[in-house]
Amino acid sequence: MGEGALEYADRAALSSNCMLRGLAIKERALALGFDLAGIAPVSIWKDLKFSRRWVEKGFNGEMRYLENPKRFDPLLILPSAKSVVCVGLIYNAPLPYSTEVEAGNRSQESEVRSQNAEGRRQAPQPRAWISRYAWGRDYHGVMRGKLEQLRKALAMLAPGIETRVFVDTGPVVERALARYSGIGWMGKNTCIINQEKGSWFFLGVILTSLEVAPDLPAPDRCGSCTACLEACPTRALVEPYVMDASRCISYFTIELRGSIPQEVRPRIGSNVFGCDICQDVCPWNGSRQLSVLSYQQATSAGRLRSERRHETKPATTNDPRFYPLIFEPDRTGISDGAIPEVLPTDDGQRTTDNGRSATDPAGFSLFNPPLAALASMSEEDFRRIFAHSPIRRAKYRGWLRNLCVAMGNSGDARCVPWLERAAEHPDPIIREHAAWALGRLRGE
C-alpha cells in the first residue's frame, strides 16, 4: 500500500474513532440520567462574538461576571480543548404554568367579587410565583454530580485526557455550545429548545482535550412565532434572539441587589423569584392542563399527584428533587429587624396553603405559594429552608424586597399591616419598596 493510501486509511480510522467516541459518550450520558446529550466543536466563534457584543451593549446589567474574557474563548479555560460534551437535564414538574395559574386566579377573583355582592364568599389569599426551576433542590449540585460521573467515563475511554466541568458557574457560554451540539436551537426567547422535549432543562458542559466528532446543530424551528416577545411584561426581549437581561424580571428579582425601578414594579406582578412567562407561552412547551386545585389537594394530603386531562407535549421529570419543596417554616424566634407575623385572614388566624391553620403539619409548597406563608419567614427561616435551594441567591434582603412588590401588586388590603411593619425596617431598600406597595394599595 502506498504512502498516500496509508495516510488516507489513518485519517479514516481516526474519523471512525471520533464518531465511535461520540456515540459512547452520549450513550453513557443518557445512562447516567441526562435527557439530552451532544458534542460541540470548540470553535464556535460566531456565537461567542455575539456574546461579546451583547455584553458591550450593557445588556448584562450589574452581572459583571459575564464580562470575563474567558467566556468568549474556551481555549483560555482549557488550551488543549478539542471538543465539548453538552448535556441537558429536564426539571419540568407536571404542574400548571404561571400564565395558566394567573388566568385561573383572575377567574376565581371575578367569581368571588360576583358572589360577594350576595355575601357568599371571601376573597382567596394572595399568592406568589416562584420560577419552576427553583421549586426543588439546587440544580448545581445535582448536575455537577452527574457530570463528574460522565467525566470519569471520559477518563476511562481515553486515560490522560484533560477535562473541565461547568454547570452555570464558570466562564462558559453554555447555550452557545449547546446549540452547536445539536441538543436544541436557540429560541427567540434565548432559551435552548428541543423539538421533542421543549425548553425546560438545565445545561451542563465538559470541555475536553479528547477529539470527538461534533454533532450537527439543530435547525431553528421558531419560524414566524413571536409569542415570547409579545408576552414579556418588561419587554426584555428587545428583538428575536436578543434579551436585555437588565430588563428581565428574573434579573430584577434575583440578580439586582439594589432598588427595582419604580416603572418596572407593577409589571413584575406576583413573581417573587424569577419568571417563566417567555417559556410558558412557547408553543414547543405545550400546555400543562392540570388544575391548580388538584395539586393543592394532593399536597395537603402530603403527596404529589399529576392528574392531567390529557398528555402534554413537553417532557416532564420524575426526579423528586425538582418537585416543589413542601415545608412548614418555624414561626418562632423572629430576629431583630425582621418583619414578624404572617398576613392575617378575615378571622385573624394565621394560615398557610388554602387557608389551613399554621399548625397543619402538611405545610405548604413552593408551587404558587401563599404570600402569607412566605412573609412569615424570619431571616433564620430563610437561610435554613433555602440552604440547598437556588432561592438563597436572592438573599433575605432581596426576598423581603420582592415580597413587598408582589404585595403591592396583589391589590389585597390584607397585606397592609405586614407592609406597615416593613416600612419601618432598618434596611432602606425594604422601607422604600414597602412604602411604594402601601401607596399602590391605597391608590396614592
Tens-level pLDDT at each residue, the chain (444 residues): 444 443 433 344 344 577 778 899 999 999 999 999 999 999 876 777 767 776 777 766 777 666 666 677 888 889 999 999 999 999 999 999 999 988 766 656 555 555 555 555 677 889 999 999 999 999 999 999 999 999 999 998 889 999 999 998 777 788 889 999 999 999 999 999 999 999 999 999 999 999 999 999 999 999 999 999 999 999 999 999 999 999 999 999 999 999 999 999 999 999 999 999 999 999 999 864 444 444 444 444 444 333 333 344 689 999 999 999 987 645 433 333 344 454 443 333 333 333 333 333 336 899 999 999 999 999 999 999 999 999 999 999 999 999 999 999 999 999 999 999 999 999 999 999 999 999 999 987
Q: From CA 435, how far away is CA 419, in angstroms rounded?
A: 8
In a 3-state reduction of DSSP, which class is residue 167? coil
Strands 364-365 and 326-327: antiparallel
Residue 213 lies in a domain: no
Q: From CA 284, how far away is CA 281, in angstroms rounded?
A: 9
Q: Are residues 21 and 113 located together in one domain of the fold?
A: no
Q: Specify which residues 204 forms β-bridges with.
A: 87
CB 433 within 8 A of CB 440: no
CB 109 within 8 A of CB 124: yes
Residues 6+ apart with CB under 8 A from 189: 199, 228, 229, 237, 243, 278, 279, 282
| Torsion angle in degrees (nearest 10) through CA of 275, 279, 282, 285 | -130
Least Cα distance to 199 among 97, 90, 101 occurs for 90
Q: Specify which residues 203 forms β-bridges with.
A: 88
How many structural domains are present in the chain? 2
Instruction: Please state, in angstroms and as integers, the Cα–Cα distance from residue 204 to each residue in 1, 258, 313, following that order.
Output: 45, 30, 23
DSSP 35: S
Q: Are residues 86 and 102 located together in one domain of the fold?
A: no
In a 3-state reduction of DSSP, which class is residue 127? strand
Q: From CA 398, how far away is CA 415, in angstroms rounded?
A: 18
Residue 357 lies in a domain: yes
Residue 265 lies in a domain: yes
Grid coordinates standing for 389?
A: 435551594
CB 297 within 8 A of CB 313: no
Residues 6+ apart with CB under 8 A from 7: none
Residue 219 lies in a domain: no
Residue 188 lies in a domain: yes
Q: Specify which residues 166 forms β-bridges with.
A: 205
- Domain containing 197 equals 3-92+142-208
What are the two backbone dihedrals, phi and then psi, of residue 243, each rounded to the nearest 5 degrees?
-110, 130
Q: Are residues 119 and 87 located together in one domain of the fold?
A: no
Q: Are residues 164 and 292 located together in one domain of the fold?
A: no
Number of H helices, E strands in the chain: 15, 12
Residue 102 lies in a domain: yes
Amino acid sitting at position 395: K
CB 122 within 8 A of CB 346: yes
Residue 317 lies in a domain: yes
Q: Are residues 333 and 267 located together in one domain of the fold?
A: yes
Q: Are residues 304 and 381 located together in one domain of the fold?
A: yes
Residue 176 lies in a domain: yes
Active site residues: 168
How many other CB atoms are there within 10 angstroms of residue 21's CB atom?
A: 19
What is the chain's Cα-based Rg?
24
- End-to-end CA distance of the chain: give it in Å, rounded: 90
